Amino acid sequence: MPPWQVGRCWCSPLNFVVVLAVWSYLGGSAHAQVAHLDPLPWYVPTDTSFSRCLDVSFDRFQDSGTHWLGNRVGLTGVMRAGQRGFFYVRAYLLSFHSNDLPVLQRWPDIAGEEAGENWPGENRSVGFASPELGLLGPLRLPLLGASWIGLATGLPVGKNELYPFSSASMPLRVALRKELPLLRFLRMDLVAGGLLHLDTAKETLNETAFPNGIWFGVSVVWSLAPRRWLSLTLLDEQRESRRSTQVSLAWWIPLRFGHSFALGLSQHVAGLADRPFQTQFTLIWRLQSPAQGEMATPAP
């Protein structure tokens, strides 16, 4: 690559990183907890071999400090929007065990007017998590050039008893993602986003439980094929005065007839007093229909 092309390639990413740093510096200072929100499914645009797909997932959340435990089964449906964009909807059935540490004992400042002293009154809550609707699509911006935008909203139909893994709140998120090619099979992804978290109408939790925030992430992705890649991600979130930093590893493996399987591991490495969990294990089985004009071929 000629030197002038190298300089032009790195100019936009540098501006992108500067924006992230300024945005992080301008974070607020109120008190709040870091409720769990799943990252936007940026892994979807990296696979152009399907017109629609269904992801069947299982997640296990655990924490050796609080002894909290969560098990979750989910469905994520994805459909193409235009030539490169995607609509998605995801929903989960969740079981949350707080054991001997109730949520309001750990975070008493989030109690709402209708929360009794022992709310929710049991150490195990089961229910459907708040569904999420989203859109991922290409976008070209000044300085950044070709990028991706992600929009997501959670529906306020969950259970507050599942907090901090879900609730009846309504999180609204927007994010930008920039891909940077490094080597032939290696690239770096930069992501920045903002969160407007509308609190729940149910008075068992107050607005302190639902802070607004910002986040940014860096991923290194090693990709040999549309359905075979390995990624390492560092994600840093600021929810007003609370901060959370996670390191995640994901491995996607192609299966026969165009389907895929994924293994994921996520670990909180900062913000330990505010984290909803310490470790997350994820399994995903993707069932997909090939894109128009393409044949689903068995994996070798």
Q: Domains of the chain (ranges plus CATH)?
A: 3-290 (2.40.160.40)
pLDDT, mean of residues 230-253: 94
Mean pLDDT for the chain overall: 84
137 three-state secondary structure: strand
- Token pair 């075979």: residue: 228
pLDDT above 90 for 292 = no
C-beta separation of 275 from 68 below 8 A:
no
Residue 41: CB partners within 8 Å, gap ≥ 6? 76, 78, 88, 90, 134, 136
Tokens representing residue 161 in the block: 């008893």
Q: Give the pLDDT band of residue 15 (cuts 50, 70, 90).
A: very low
7 three-state secondary structure: helix
pLDDT, mean of residues 208-231: 91
The per-residue DSSP string of 176-215 comes to: EEEEEEEETTEEEEEEEEEEEEEPPSSTTB-GGGS--EEE
pLDDT above 80 for 59 = yes
Q: Give the pLDDT band of residue 46 (cuts 50, 70, 90).
A: low
Question: Residue 44: what residue type?
Answer: V
pLDDT above 90 for 95 = yes
Tokens representing residue 238 in the block: 């600021």
| Full-model pTM | 0.83
